Each structure stands twice: as C-alpha cells, then as structure tokens.
Amino acid sequence: MSLLQGVKDVNHRIFGGYAELLRIPHAARFTVGSVIACMPFPMVGMTMTIMTQQYYGNYSLAGALTAVQAIAGAVVGPLLGTLVDRFGQRQVSIPTIVIWMLAAVSFVTCVRAQVTPWILFCIVPFFAAVPPWGAMSRARWTYLMGNDRAGVNRALSLSGVFDEAMWVVGNPLASTLAVISGFLAMSFTGICVLIGALMFLTEMTTCPPSQSDLAREAGVSRKEFREREAEKAKELRAQTAAEDARVHAKSQGLSDAEVEAAGKAAYERSMSGIKDSIWGPGLIAVCATWFGLGAFQSAAGISIIAFATEANMKQYTGFVFACFSISSLTGALLYGAKNWTIPLWKRFYVCLAVLNIGIGSFLFARHLWVIMVIYLIIGVCQSPTWINGNQLMLHLVPQTRFTEGMAWMGAMNSIGASAGSAVAGVFIDRAGSHGGFAVVTALAFVSLAIALLGFKQIKTSTETPVLTEISA
C-alpha cells in the first residue's frame, strides 16, 4: 500500500501541475496545436537529407542544404518574432505558412526532377518561413498566467515537454515516410502544419495583444507606443540594476549608506545607457560550447543516416532519433521535479561530459542498435544540459541583459549545427559513415575542452550567486 501511495505521490508531483494547466479553458487547444504545427522542425531536415541522398547520391549536398536551412532559420526566426510582437500572431503566421507551403512543393518537385543543385539552394532558405509556434505558445501562456510566476515556470516546462514529444513522433515518421516517398513525407508535414495552424490561430481568446492593438487602444501610433514602452523598460532595467547592486553590496557586508550608494550609482549608470561588456571567459566558453553542441549533434544526425543507409536500415533511423528524444523527455521531467542542492557548475559539467563522451563513442559502434542504446542512456542528460546552460546565463550576465545572453547562445548553436552537418557531409562522401563519426568525436571532445576554459568563472559565479536560480 505504501508503495502504491509513493507511486501516486511521485506521479502527482511530476504530472499534477501539468494536468492543472491543461484544464484551463482553451489551453490544451493552442498548446497541442502549436506542437502539431511544429512538425517541420523534426521532419523537414531529415526528409531533405534522405531525399537528396536518394536522388543525388551526395551527402555533401545534403549537408550543405541543411546548413543553409539552419542559417536561414537563425536569421529569419528572430525577425518573425519581432513581426509577431508588432502586428499579431495571426497576421504574420498566415502569409508565412503560404510561403512555406510553396517552398515545400517547389523543393520536392525540383529534387524529383534532379535539377541543378544551385536551384535547390535558392529554394531551401524559404523553409525558414515557419511561424515561431513555440515562442507564440509560450507568449500565450505568459499572458494567460499573468503575475503567477510559479504558474509561468510550470507552463514553460510543459511547453518543453511537448517540444520533446514532437521530436519523438516526428523523427520516426520522417524516416519511414521519406524512405517510401519524399513527396509523401513532405505532404504529411504540410497537413500537420495546416491542422496545427487551424487549432492555434482560430483560438484567439488566449492570444496576447500585439503592439498595434495596444497602440490603437491607447490612441497613439505604433512608433509612439514603442517609444513609450522603451522608456518604461529602461526605467525597469534601471530599478532592477539598482536592486541587484544593493543585494551584491549587502552580501559583501557593507554599511547601509554604502549599500544605498551602490544602488544609486547602478541606477544612474543604467539610465545613462552605459553598458558593461558581458563577454567574460564564462560567457565565451558557454557560447563556444553551444556552437560545438550544435555542430557535433547535427554531424551525428547525418552520420547516423549514412551508417543506417550502408547497413540497409535507413527506415529505422527515425526510431533511433526518437529514442534520444524519449530519453531527453524523461530527463526533463525528472530533472524539473527535483529541487537540486548540488552546485550548478557540477551539474553543468557532469551532464555535458556524459552527452559529449556518449555521442563521441558512436565512432566505435558496429550496429545501429548500439547507437540507439547509447542514445537511450545519454539522452537523459540532453534536456538538463540545456536547462543548466539557461541557468548559467542568470549568473554570467546581468539580469537586465539575460535575453541578450540567451540570444547569443541560441545563435551560436544554430550556426554550429549548420557547420557540423556541412563538414560531416564532406567526410561521409570521402570515407563513409566512419568519416562522419570521426568528425562527431573530434567536435564533441573539442566542445568539452572549450567548456573547461571557462571553468573558473562558471564555478565562482554559481557557488556564490547574486541572482536566484529559477526552477526548470
């Protein structure tokens, strides 16, 4: 009986909060809709790689095309996010979806016709025309939860779990359908986009107002509204900087007068617009590590496809990637359910080492199922690694520049992913999947070595933090 009660307690602790969120009116609809609409993320990259290899027999071309897609996504994604904030989710998403649909039809048609590769390079950037479903869903949760900070954190964790679930479903579907027919795989993806978009965009009661809506309500132009909001944000940043300075001064045992003086100086400095550089050894190491993380993981993806193709098991590649996503999803659930007392820097380096060394060991695998087992084992550290990296930003950069630090980290990961797939494609064409895995191993260990360069600052800043850690 006690065992059953214990299982119920664990289940309630992990899933109870998520269930409460989904019972909020209309919440399940837009959350599930955003996940279905996100299917291009796991499916298009794999479909593109498999189709290009089938029709052109060239992994270098496949890697280069996915690299171009990743770079285009890194450039266009923030732009689409800005447009959504200004004009609204529906207003930006509908024309963006039309562009993506045209790109999908054009790509499949051209690949099957085996056109000159430069035409494919002209089409692929338009695959970046994907509405930022994840960001828009998180914006709705933030708007819906209001000032409930605990509720917002729980909702963002739920969004992360759904994101992992999308990869669990999308990867095996992509590999299976693409082996049968690239046209079938891309058509299925398009149907998912349409269904998800209808679920998400027709639910407007939870949609946060855009800058245009707020400006209209205030009776001012959008430019005047942005200027007014910028002034408010500047004042808030200054107040936050002052409070941080007071907390830091107080932790050093300074007198009340000195604490207030430190707060006043920080406030005036922030209002003056002067910024200190955030580029210390810790942030440089984390960004470089995230570049390497994206590089060796994307290189591993294309190398696994090559390995499975050589073994006549290409139809199973999606299941291998799904195992990684399932394991990562499990890691996210368990990691977020525990209140960790182990220092953040230890958790960061342990999870990163497990992930890097595990993927680096693919070089010695002799069967696809061995890679799947390795993925199952190390995948539990995937989500915690990202969570720890996000938390490191709270310690390595000022709170008022947290978004800036996160933006650099995400951009470096996207650029790394594009570089990794391109380099691995060249080596695969020259030496087969073994050459690709050699690139993966080299990138994994270089990434880990780079992370160790910022060890001193990361360890110091997280052992004696000024900022409070947020829960996963």
Q: How confident is the model at residue 31 (pLDDT cuts 50, 70, 90)?
A: confident
How many Å apart are CA 57 and CA 97, to the nearest integer? 30
Residues 68-81 have a mean pLDDT of 79
Tokens of 134: 């994840």
Note the pLDDT tens digit of each residue in 129-158: 888 887 788 778 778 877 666 666 667 667
Q: How confident is the model at residue 461 (pLDDT cuts 50, 70, 90)?
A: low
Q: What pTM, to 2 d.p., does this model score?
A: 0.68
Rg (CA), the chain: 23
Which one, of 166, 175, 163, 181, lies nearest residue 319 by Cα? 175
Note the pLDDT tens digit of each residue in 88-101: 888 889 999 999 99
Q: How confident is the model at residue 86 (pLDDT cuts 50, 70, 90)?
A: confident
Which one, of 135, 126, 154, 156, lies nearest residue 200 by Cα? 135
Q: How confident is the model at residue 268 (pLDDT cuts 50, 70, 90)?
A: confident
Q: How high is the mean pLDDT of the chain?
A: 78
Note the pLDDT tens digit of each residue in 155-187: 766 776 777 677 667 666 766 777 677 778 888
Question: Would you say residue 465 has pLDDT above 60?
Answer: no
Q: How far is CA 231 from CA 139, 205, 215, 224, 242, in A?
A: 22, 29, 15, 11, 17
